[in-house]
Structure 1
Amino acid sequence: MSRQLSSLLAIAAVCVTTLAPLPAQAATTPKKKAAAVDCEQVKCIALTFDDGPGKYAGTLLDTLKKYDAKATFFLEGQYAKSRPQYVKRMVAEGHELGNHSYSHPDFTKSEPGAIRNEIQKTQDAVKKAAGVEPKLLRPPYGLADLTVSDIAEEYGMPIILWTAGSEDWSSKNVEAIKKKTLEVAKPGGIILMHDWVKQTVDAMPSIVKSLQNKGYHLVTVSEVVKGENLEPGDIYPLPAGWEN
């Protein structure tokens, strides 16, 4: 996919192999890893959580683990720094991490040096907490322009937005969040949520079970967009008017 950003763009609101057999002397039956999900063959959806890790992240991770569901967390560096235990656990349990700035400023109103500082500080905080660096960027508020795209390219990251939002930050109501999430769910969807919203975390067991009962595999963003062949600085999904 070639880069689509050629003029100012402002967008609002808008992560089967088998283990080798155990040595002959071991009595344990060899175990297998779960088969990789092919999102071109099955229904996949990516739940994404911004602004965290929030203080309810542990409960959310418990739910995801219980139902063998994966998610992508777009972290703020300031919270990755203050709650490193959650960041480490996210990685250990197979979730994907993205960069959502350090302190959530509007990148389209920031100087290039300030944007780089926000991104780098978050990269550093996540790496210190979990030993990895995010490979995806989601600008605060979903706002980007050509400068943001160029800087994302410098960091080797595509810009990931969302196909729909749960509107959890607005409703803060368990039933409303569940209803909206299921309403906007579609194969290949990327859903915006927030793990600092307690009602979102409370709704997650029901949301996950409902999506799985509808045949969805809950996977990371990278699995959903694998077929898009995104390059650093690309934006996905493209806003109206930017499609090929």
Structure 2
Amino acid sequence: MPRLSLRHAVRAALAAAVPLALLGAVTGPAHAAPRAAWPEPVPVVPRIDTTDPVVFITIDDGWFHDPAAAKLLLDRRVPASLFLLPGAYSYDSGYFRDLLAGGPSRVENHTVNHPDLTALDAAGQTAEFCGARDRHLAQFGDGPRLIRPPYGVYDATTRTAARACGAKALVTWTYDLTTWGQWSPPTPTLKAGDIILLHFNETLEDDLTRALAAAEAAGLRPAPLRDYVPE
């Protein structure tokens, strides 16, 4: 083959190969789109690390609507965190509306159905948290930012599901001062940052009175828990 013809043949081969190489570089092999990362787990808060002379009053469930307990909360201006179940206010939301409108209490998340969360998968736990969040927001106009897992039981999935539903922490407790039946737990010596658990039951007025007295004896005052939990 003459030298000129050979040169033309090489150029033609290169011209055909370069577009194919570029096409492969642009398109590349097919890859599945990366899955969205599951949210960062929220912290678990059994007490607040603070030097402020404060304690935190939290009240769970909401089934028993005692006017005397509500009056005590309002008269003493207690900034309680109310971890309510939607079913507990579905038949009498006015009780809690008055508490929220007349005092510094806030509604927080205690799930929809009060399940053992460790028996549920991620979808089930998310439904419990987001369902309660949406119902609280619709009923009271204030979306909860804290979650108390029923029975204080949780797993790794609980912490990520909580974040997915807008919570900034799982809150447990330092002391449970709820009276159940004839048994009342001993009154502890409270320290700054302690979280006290009570329940909306028949003894709430007495239990709250005892908790407030214990705080006063320790030189502490109730403070709004949500304000002390960082984002």
Normalised by the length of structure 2, the TM-score is 0.70
Amino acid in structure 2 at the alignment position of 1:66 = D
1:193 CA drift (Å): 1.1
1:160 CA drift (Å): 0.8
Q: Cα gap change, 1:85/1:172 in structure 2, threshold over 3 Å: closer, same or farther? A: farther
Q: Cα gap change, 1:72/1:105 in structure 2, threshold over 3 Å: closer, same or farther? A: same
Structure 2 unaligned blocks of 5 or more: 1-39
CA distance in structure 2 between the partners assigned to 1:96 and 1:74 by the alignment: 9
Asked whether the equivalents of residues 123 and 133 of structure 1 are also in contact (C-alpha less than 8 Å), the reply is yes
For the residue of structure 1 that corresponds to 2:124, the secondary structure is helix
The yes-or-no answer on 1:64 pairing with 2:73 is yes
1:114 CA drift (Å): 2.2
CA distance in structure 1 between the partners assigned to 2:56 and 2:208 by the alignment: 13
- Work out which of the two has the higher radius of gyration on C-alpha atoms and give 1 or 2: 2
CA distance in structure 2 between the partners assigned to 1:53 and 1:128 by the alignment: 19
1:191 CA drift (Å): 0.9
Q: Which one of 198, 208, 223 corresponds to residue 204 of structure 1?
A: 208
CA distance in structure 1 between the partners assigned to 2:54 and 2:72 by the alignment: 18
Normalised by the length of structure 1, the TM-score is 0.67
The yes-or-no answer on 1:188 pairing with 2:193 is yes
The yes-or-no answer on 1:101 pairing with 2:111 is yes
Q: Cα gap change, 1:149/1:210 in structure 2, threshold over 3 Å: closer, same or farther? A: closer
1:168 CA drift (Å): 2.3
CA distance in structure 1 between the partners assigned to 2:82 and 2:182 by the alignment: 19
Q: Which one of 194, 219, 225 corresponds to residue 215 of structure 1?
A: 219
Structure 1 unaligned blocks of 5 or more: 15-38, 232-244
Asked whether the equivalents of residues 185 and 191 of structure 1 are also in contact (C-alpha less than 8 Å), the reply is no
The yes-or-no answer on 1:168 pairing with 2:179 is yes
Write out aligned runs for 1:28-43 (5 A).
40=50, 42-43=52-53
Asked whether the equivalents of residues 106 and 143 of structure 1 are also in contact (C-alpha less than 8 Å), the reply is yes
The yes-or-no answer on 1:115 pairing with 2:119 is no
Asked whether the equivalents of residues 110 and 149 of structure 2 are also in contact (C-alpha less than 8 Å), the reply is yes
For the residue of structure 2 that corresponds to 1:168, the secondary structure is coil
Identity %: 22
CA distance in structure 2 between the partners assigned to 1:73 and 1:87 by the alignment: 9
Amino acid in structure 2 at the alignment position of 1:64 = L
CA distances 1:195-226 after superposition (whole Å, capped 9, x unpaired) = 12x12323433542452354211112224x34
